[in-house]
Amino acid sequence: MSAIIQASLTHTVFGFVRRLVGSPLNFVLTLIFAGLLAVALPPVIRWVITDAAFFPAVPESCKAISGACWSFVIAKHSQILFGIYPNDERWRPLIVCVLLIGLLVYSVRPSAWSKRLAWFWGGALISSWWLMGGGFGLTVVESDLWGGLPVTLILTVVAIGFGFPTGILLALARRSKLPVISLLATLFIEMTRALPLLSILFIASIMLPLMLPEELLPDKFFRALIALYLFASAYLSEVIRGGLQAIPKGQFEAGEAVGLSFAQLNAKIILPQAITVVIPALTNTIIVMIKNTSLVLVVGLFDLISSGKAALADPAWSSPSVETYLFITLIYFLLCFGFSRFADRMEQRAKAPAK
């Protein structure tokens, strides 16, 4: 009996190990990867935590250490997050960040998707612009002094939030049977996609002031915002058009057969299916746009990276650039990863059978 139990136990253990590592090749690769982790992980942990400096957040904390100088990030976090925004007024961009991130988190809940959400976002954007710019009881702060995380969030929310519905209209216009509308939409999309985003930002920042009188010229931040919005619209429109082309022709014919108008057909039948099909491509495009906001530094706007560079210019510190850029990288990662998880949930919800 004991031999039978031992054989059964051996078979169970062997089966578990085999399911865990798979084929012999996978087993060898697992061992190699585990060995690499055993070699690489301890030095990383020592640099990041054990030998690092945290408090007190003063320059002297980093002078006799072999690890990371997190004291610099702790001491300069306000400047990294808010750039050259006036120190006494930095509570305003802080509220903007909390407001926009909080509303983003609220918006991922399907139960929140209603017309009321659009009003919430409209109020949040108006409030953000008022808090950042001032006026009506607040000290005026020119957009040239805006910087850091609020700039990244505002650019991202406006470019994607307005670019997505515009992209839908452009995709429908490009597929239109009316030649003039189709031609205009195609010209806009192809011309915008043919130019690098840097070129569009330079046109908005440098060439536009040469073509417009000063009294009609929007400020630098608004021009960069429009450039990102147009760029996002063109790219999102092509992703959505791919989804429209994936819908069987019978869906269009069925909708027309029951008497649905063009708007009803697309809003209730075609677009929900098309957007579901292209969720992965939309996610990729939106994540790229989140990271593209960092390019506004070339036209003189202080995004997160520019704010980090400005903080590193303090001669009292030893310029721990690695730690600073790791902190900025973490912020971008959380933004992109958070949206990626939301897109995964949307895709799973779309694939789930209706109850």
Question: Cis link prior to 56 (omega < 30° from 0)?
Answer: yes
CA 329 from centre of chain: 12
Amino acid at the residue 104 = L
Q: pTM of the prediction? A: 0.83
- Which of 221, 197, 212, 50 has the alpha carbon at shortest distance from 148? 221
The pLDDT mean for the chain works out to 85
Rounded Cα–Cα distance for residues 245 and 238 (Å): 11
Write down the architecture of domain 72-351 according to CATH: Orthogonal Bundle (1.10)
Dist. CA 293–CA 297, nearest whole Å: 9
Q: Which residues, in sequence order, are CB contacts of 260 under 8 Å at separation 6+? A: 268, 269
Give the count of beta carbons closer than 10 Å to the beta carbon of residue 268: 11
Domain spans in the chain, listed from the N-terminal domain onward: 72-351
Q: What is the pLDDT of residues 306-318, one digit of tens each?
A: 888 888 888 888 8
Q: Report the distance separating Cα 209 and Cα 214, nearest Å.
A: 7
Range with lowest mean pLDDT among 6-20, 132-146, 263-277, 286-300: 6-20
For 68-105, write each residue's pLDDT tens digit.
889 999 999 999 999 889 999 999 999 999 999 999 88
